[in-house]
């Protein structure tokens, strides 16, 4: 494979206010998405973060160091054109939500899941009018259809940019409820991350930490933290 990467060709990245939002220019030239759309974002917070990412590039452009730019590109090039499909895909996590699938043993793990996960299911029932029930084992058991409809409406009410950030919150945690708890500020993203890893943390307590698994988990933690920041920055100035 080629290791070719685009090199830095600009001296300065600058935020520019545009109609309905903000863009970032490189030496006066607007940044475009991979699909050649103008990279326009809804808040100054997002534009400022994108500008910093581009200014931080030294020689070759490294997309791995530009999470805000990547997610903004996804919002414009993908989510904006497939909003319904993306929203439905994420809402479907409610029917197999991580928080609903409980261990049958050992008793200590069963008790820990109940202690830490039940309050979030209670929150969803009270705050979102969506009661999901916990089940034992790994076999899929459908949730209440009306509850799923109400959760789906929550997801469809998001903007393109919010949904782009919300995607990783759901996909990484495996839980629609945890993602909604973060976006509703019921939980911090770090609290949600720890709750999503309850089973893995239990295994580590019993058998020790696997270095490779730990490195992968840390990458996911960084990604979910970035996703939460992007979501909130899309909604308001931070």
Can you give the residue ranges of every domain in the chain?
13-62, 83-235
Give the separation between CA 16 and CA 193, rounded to whole angstroms: 35
Q: What b/e sequence results for 127-164 when a residue is b if at least 16 CB atoms lie within 10 Å of its CB, and e otherwise?
A: ebebebeeeeeeeeeebeeebbebbbebbeebbbbbbb
Cβ proximity of 175 and 154 under 8 Å: no
In this predicted structure, what is the pLDDT of residue 236?
Answer: 63
101: part of which helix (H) or strand (E)? strand 101-102
For the segment 87-143, what is each residue's pLDDT rounded down to a tens digit? 999 999 999 999 999 999 999 999 999 999 999 999 999 999 999 999 987 778 899
DSSP state of 102: E
Q: Quick one: fold of 83-235?
A: ATP12-like fold (1.10.3580)
What is the arithmetic mean of pLDDT over 184-191? 98
Q: What is the predicted pLDDT for the residue at 219? A: 96
Average confidence score pLDDT of the chain:
93
- Between strands 101-102 and 135-136, the pairing is parallel
- pLDDT for residue 5 is more than 70: no
Q: What would the 3-class secondary structure string for 140-182 be? A: CCCCCHHHHHHHHHHHHCCCHHHHHHHHHHHHHHCCHHHHHHH
12 is written with which tokens?
């300065």
CATH number of 13-62: 3.30.2180.10
pLDDT at position 20 is 85
Q: What is the pTM of this model?
A: 0.92
Give which of 164, 134, 132, 160 is closest to 145, Cα–Cα.
132
């Amino acid at each position: 494979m080629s290791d070719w990467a685009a090199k830095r060709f600009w001296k300065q990245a600058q935020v520019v206010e545009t109609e309905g939002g903000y863009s970032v220019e490189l030496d006066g030239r607007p940044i475009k998405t991979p699909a050649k759309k103008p990279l326009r974002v809804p808040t100054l917070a997002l534009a400022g973060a994108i500008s910093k990412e581009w200014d931080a590039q030294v020689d070759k452009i490294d997309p791995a160091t530009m999470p805000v730019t990547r997610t903004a590109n996804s919002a414009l090039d993908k989510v904006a054109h497939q909003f319904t499909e993306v929203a439905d895909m994420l809402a479907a996590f409610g029917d197999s939500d991580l928080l609903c699938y409980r261990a049958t043993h050992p008793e200590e793990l069963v008790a820990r899941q109940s202690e830490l996960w039940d309050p979030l299911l209670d929150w969803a029932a009270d705050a979102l009018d969506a009661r999901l029930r916990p089940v034992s084992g790994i076999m899929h058991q459908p949730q209440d259809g009306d509850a799923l409809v109400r959760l789906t409406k929550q997801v469809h009410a998001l903007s393109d940019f919010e949904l782009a950030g919300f995607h990783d919150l759901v996909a990484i945690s495996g839980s629609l409820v945890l993602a909604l708890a973060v976006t509703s500020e019921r939980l911090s993203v770090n609290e949600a991350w720890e709750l999503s890893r309850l089973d893995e943390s239990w295994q580590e307590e019993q058998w020790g930490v696997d270095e490779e698994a730990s490195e992968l988990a840390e990458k996911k933690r960084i990604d979910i933290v970035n996703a939460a920041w992007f979501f909130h920055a899309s909604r308001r100035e931070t």
